[in-house]
Structure 1
Amino acid sequence: MPPTPTAGTTPTGIAGQIDRLVELGLPALAGMTVEEFHALARDLPAEAPGAIVAVHPGLVPASALAPLLSRGDKSGFVVVDMADLDAFAPIDGLDAPEDALYLINEVDRGDDMANWSPDEALPEISSRGRRPLTIGEGISWLLQEPERLAPNHCFMTIGSRKRRKGTALDSRTPAIWISGGTGRDGRDNRGAPKVGWCWAGNRHTWLGFASAAAQPPA
């Protein structure tokens, strides 16, 4: 089961989540009016307990969503050596919806798989009848429930990988954690949400693997 959200921090219902995205400035980022943005949500159910509204990268890419993340008075950022963040696309076999706004259900941070590598975690997630989150979905989740990112309880989003020539994949896997303000992050980013990467074969004790219920068949 997903961890219990902090009271009063999660918008109520789908309409509340859409309002939250509007407050964050999503319409302007998408190059549309508030009314046009609301129209994108018309096909979403009015009630979907536990569901999170995800923003498709075709509407607003992950690199533009990341600065909207917040923790305390700190805004999110993308690490300097991941300038190609938007080249990370859904992995083969992950049927992410094509709608500009869509729902992901039963999202879990994957704390029980902390200290697993992405290569180890992916088959386990699939065996549970779930699917890994993409980086855009992971950011979308934190835009609605920022308290899900906590010290020593952060997560990877291994539903996104960058393809190289042929069938080869880039060895990096996207992740979201809290910056320590060291190195190229800069002291001012200490405590800020950080979109970065980890090697697909490496393990980290403080990173789980965010996943959602598998999408129902079309």
Structure 2
Amino acid sequence: MPASSASPAAVATSPPVPATALPPLPDQAERLVALGVAATAGLPDAAVRAAAHDLAASAPPGALLVVDPALAPPSVLAPHLRLPDRDGEKEGFVVVDMADVDRFAPLDGLTVPDGALYVVTDVDRGDDLASWSPDEALPEITRRGRTPLTLAEGIHWALQAPQVVERNHCYMTIGSRLRRADGRLDARTPAIWISNGTGRDGRERRGAPKVGWCWAGNRHTWLGFASAAGRVGLPA
């Protein structure tokens, strides 16, 4: 059979898929079912699939499906995170000094739709804000007309697109903060990155996806600030 005469430049190629790309909402629903997140949240598989179908009718392409954290809190979601590693996939975890992770709630003024499931639109890892502190990044995100991701939303993103958690390119989720008994915000801001297996993480967790925190006034070259254009709930 003769070889093709087409030059390499003439051969059509597909553009590379961005690391932050998300599958269609029905596929995301199937992943939540397969991971056991739906069952953990007490949601019938059919209900998750139906919600994804209904949300797909009103949400723009590339939206992220999220389960209400009251049903599937971060402490429950984190162990479902996985990243490839030369020693095999490593299970996600929450750092030991964040036992109160599920008490981190949306910032005042950040509205999450009612209902068991909703979507977040146009998610972005915020790489351009690396080396900013959370205190500096929040007003900039707001100035851009965007909203910071909550921790639960950030974990859902990594569940659906594990490649978004990339060494030296991870992200904070400053839409979630803990309010102390005195009414002031706790100085910790949650983030998702990759463990180096040092300290209390343990050597066996090197390469594992990690839910941790950073101080609100500190800067990190390898942490962006995840944000979205908005949130869409199920029709009433």
Matched, 1:24 2:35: yes
Supply the distance in 1 between the matched residues of 2:136 and 2:34 (Cα, whole angstroms).
38
Supply the distance in 2 between the matched residues of 1:6 and 1:189 (Cα, whole angstroms).
23
Supply the distance in 2 between the matched residues of 1:214 and 1:36 (Cα, whole angstroms).
23
Alpha-carbon offset, residue 172 of structure 1: 0.2
Matched, 1:125 2:141: yes
Contact kept in structure 2, 1:5 and 1:147, CA below 8 Å: no
Alpha-carbon offset, residue 14 of structure 1: 1.0
Alpha-carbon offset, residue 215 of structure 1: 4.0
Which residue pairs with 2:10 in the alignment?
Answer: none
Residue identity matched to 2:33: V
Residue identity matched to 2:135: D
1:109 to 97, 121, 125: 125
Which residue pairs with 2:95 in the alignment?
Answer: 79
TM-score normalised over the length of structure 2: 0.84
Matched, 1:67 2:79: yes
Within-5 A mapping of 1:1-218 = 4-6=17-19, 10-11=22-23, 13-41=24-52, 43-46=54-57, 48-72=60-84, 73-215=89-231
Supply the distance in 2 between the matched residues of 1:23 and 1:5 (Cα, whole angstroms).
24
Spell out structure 1 runs of 4+ moving beyond 4 A: none
SS of the aligned residue for 1:203 comes to coil
Identity of paired residues, percent? 62
Unpaired runs of 5+ residues, structure 1, are: none
Contact kept in structure 1, 2:197 and 2:204, CA below 8 Å: yes
Q: Deviations over 1:175-215 (max 9, x none)?
A: 00000001110111100100000000001110000000034
Q: Deviations over 1:139-196 (max 9, x none)?
A: 0111111101101000000000001124301110000000000111011110010000
Supply the distance in 2 between the matched residues of 1:51 and 1:33 (Cα, whole angstroms).
22
Residue identity matched to 1:61: P
Alpha-carbon offset, residue 10 of structure 1: 4.7
Q: Could you say what the CA RMSD is over the residues aligned between the two structures, in angstroms? A: 2.2
Supply the distance in 2 between the matched residues of 1:205 and 1:76 (Cα, whole angstroms).
22
SS of the aligned residue for 1:125 comes to helix
Q: Deviations over 1:89-143 (max 9, x none)?
A: 0001111212211111110000011010000000000000000000000001111
Which structure is larger by alpha-carbon Rg, 1 or 2? 2
Residue identity matched to 1:60: A
Q: How many residues align?
A: 214
SS of the aligned residue for 1:43 comes to helix
Between 46-55 and 90-99, report the one with greater CA deviation: 46-55
Alpha-carbon offset, residue 37 of structure 1: 3.6
TM-score normalised over the length of structure 1: 0.91
Between 51-60 and 193-202, report the one with greater CA deviation: 51-60
Between 42-51 and 59-68, report the one with greater CA deviation: 42-51
